[in-house]
Amino acid sequence: MTTAPAPQIVDSHCHLDFPDFAGELPQVIECARAAGVTRMVTICTRLALEPQVRAIAEAYEGVFYAAGVHPMRAGEDPMATVEQLVGFAAHPKFVGIGETGLDYHYTAETKDQQQESLRIHIEAARQTKLPLIIHARSADEDMARILAEEHRAGAYACVMHCFSSSAELGRAALDLGFYLSMSGITAFPKSAELREIFAAAPLDRVLLETDSPYLAPPPHRGKRNEPAYTAHTAAKGAEVFGLSLEEFAAATSANFDRLFWKAAETGA
C-alpha cells in the first residue's frame, strides 16, 4: 500500500537567513519538502544583507527571495531608493518588494521615516509589477490611508503579510484587490476573531506563510518556527474555509502563482 503524497503548499514568507537556521538550512528545507512545502520565499529585511539572502535562493530549488527595509529598521538603516529596489528585480529569483510597511508598536517615533520608506517601496512595486509585501502593526489608520492614496496614484499588487490586524484594515486591503496572508497566529486557540476575518475573505485572496523563525503554530508554539510548519496552518485554514486540506492547499498555491507571478514563471 502506497502513501498518498502530501498536498503541495507554499510558504510565502520566511526568513531563512536568520541565525536561528544557521548550519541547518539543508535539513530545514528537506523537512519542508517532506511536509509538502515545495516552495518558499525568504525575505530580506535589511538591504545590507541582500547578498546573503540572494545566495540562499540561488542555492536551493523552490526557494525565491524578496528584499526591502523592514519598518522597524527605517529609522536606523539608510533609506532605500526606488532605483536600488528596482535593480534587484533583474535577478530571476527576486519575486517581491519588501517587507515594508508601518510598525507603531515598538517604533512609533520613526513613523515619518517609515511612511517615506513605504511610499518608496510602493513605487518600486509599481515599476517592477512585483507584489508589495506589507508588515502592519498598530498603524491601521495610516496604513489604510497610504495604501489607498498610493493605489489611486497608480495601481500595484500587494499582500498583507502575517495578517493579524483589524477587520477594517483587512477589508480595506481586500477592497483594493490585495491579498491577506495566513500565518501560524491563525491557528492559536485565542485567534477566533482573526479566523472570522479570514472566513469572510474571498478564498482567491488568501496566502499561507510561516514568518519563520517566529510564530510557530500548534503543536510547535513557543518553539522555532520553520517552513515545514506551513502544513499546520494550512490544515487550520482548510477548517476555516470548510475545505479539505488538498482543496485549500491547491487554492492558496494558485493564489501564490497569481500574485507572485515571477516565481510561477521561473519555477526553479
What is the torsional sign of CA 225, 227, 233, 237? positive
With H, G, I as helix, E, B as strand and everything else as coil, classify residue 39. Answer: strand
Q: Which residue has the cell 507571478?
A: 261
Residue 134: all three cell numbers together: 506589507
- Binding residues, by number, are 13, 15, 99, 135, 161, 211
Q: Which of 209, 202, 194 is nearest to 260 (CA)?
A: 209
Q: Which of 100, 92, 182, 165 is nearest to 135 (CA)?
A: 100
- Binding residues for a divalent metal cation, by number, are 13, 15, 99, 135, 161, 211
Residues 180, 238, 61, 265, Cα dihedral to 10°: -60
